[in-house]
Amino acid sequence: MSSAGTTPLLRVTNLKVAYPIRSSLLQRKIGENVAVDDVTFDINPGETVGLVGESGSGKSTVARAVIGLVKSDGGRIEFEGNDITRHSPRQLKPVRREMQMVFQDPYASLNPRLTVRDLIAEAWRVHSDVVPRDRWTAEVKELMERVGLNPDYSDRYPHQFSGGQRQRIGIARALALRPKLIICDEPVSALDVSVQAQVLNLLDDLQDDLGLAYLFISHDLSVVEHLCDRVLVLHHGVVAEEGSAREVFDHPRDDYTRALLAAVPVARPWLEPSS
């Protein structure tokens, strides 16, 4: 699917992640729970790839393996052609600059004891060469403006913001390192429907302005349809179907995808031709 000659931004080949089952007494491994098996996909620069499936299908595990929060048990993860599968946290540090994450729960993913300024600047504290310290305040305000927050609120704490505003803070934090890829792990599922649309539009605008690529994880198919170029449907940790968003939504080939699509609630069922 990647155009000839260019390497994809992210290439995941045959990814497998299994959680060990340990005996209660000696903590010996007595089995494993395979969360993700044989998942393969590419993400090109500026592209949005959706990952859908029911809860427990391994969507989040894929994201966490890609960003290095869980270890993979097989397969390869390449970022811009470099194999990062077996990288230690120290080796991963330069890659983190290019790849950031927006978390599901905006209430849990922001440290309650840091101000917005410190939350966003934390990235620059870790990567000291991105923004010089005397530019932090100005850059924080710029980022806040960019994600639609009032820059005068930079000294406030997360609990003083609404859910949608918090998620904007989370997005600003992810943008702070100027990444090329942002992994969005159900970024709007904890938000009100009206706020969901605002945040999705923000993500869309940022993609247009900054040329970001997204790995977008969601169980909400309408969200994925709205945003994604390509879609992978995960079922019990394996890819049930893969294709462009149009293909998958209009002509689902797999039974599971069809079941998933049929489960989407319809706003005005009496207007639907069938049933």
Partner 1 sequence: MTAAAPVLAVNATMRRARRARRGVKTRIIAPLVVIGLIIVGAIAVPIAFAFDPLQADLLARLAPPGAVMSDGSTALLGTDQIGSDLFAQIMAGARVSLLVGVATLAISGLVGVALGLLAGHFGGWIDATLMRVADIQLAFPSILLAILIASVLGQGVGNIIIVLSISNWVVFARVARSQVLSLKNREYVEAARTLGAGNWHLMFRTLLPGCMAPVIVVATTQFAQVILTEASLSFLGVGVPLGTPSLGSTIFNGTQYLSTAWWISTLPGVVLVILMLAFGILGDALRDKYDPTLRSA
- Give the interface with partner 1 as residue ranges (CB under 8 A): 67-69, 89-90, 92-93, 96-97, 100-101, 103-105, 108-113, 122-123, 125-127, 170, 173, 177
Rank residues 54 and 98 by Cβ distance to partner 1 and give the closer one. Answer: 98
Residue 236 DSSP SS3: coil
User: What is the nearest approach in angstroms of partner 1 to the Cβ of residue 72?
Assistant: 16
Residue 135 DSSP SS3: helix
**Residue 231 Cα to chain centre, angstroms:** 13
Q: Which two tokens stand for residue 132?
A: 């010089």
Rank residues 109 and 196 by Cβ distance to partner 1 and give the closer one. Answer: 109
Rank residues 103 and 161 by Cβ distance to partner 1 and give the closer one. Answer: 103
User: What is the nearest approach in angstroms of partner 1 to the Cβ of residue 49?
Assistant: 18
Rank residues 9 and 248 by Cβ distance to partner 1 and give the closer one. Answer: 9
User: What is the nearest approach in angstroms of partner 1 to the Cβ of residue 128?
Assistant: 11
Rank residues 36 and 110 by Cβ distance to partner 1 and give the closer one. Answer: 110
DSSP H or E segment with residue 124: helix 116-126
At position 39, the amino acid (one-letter code) is: V
User: What is the nearest approach in angstroms of partner 1 to the Cβ of residue 263?
Assistant: 27
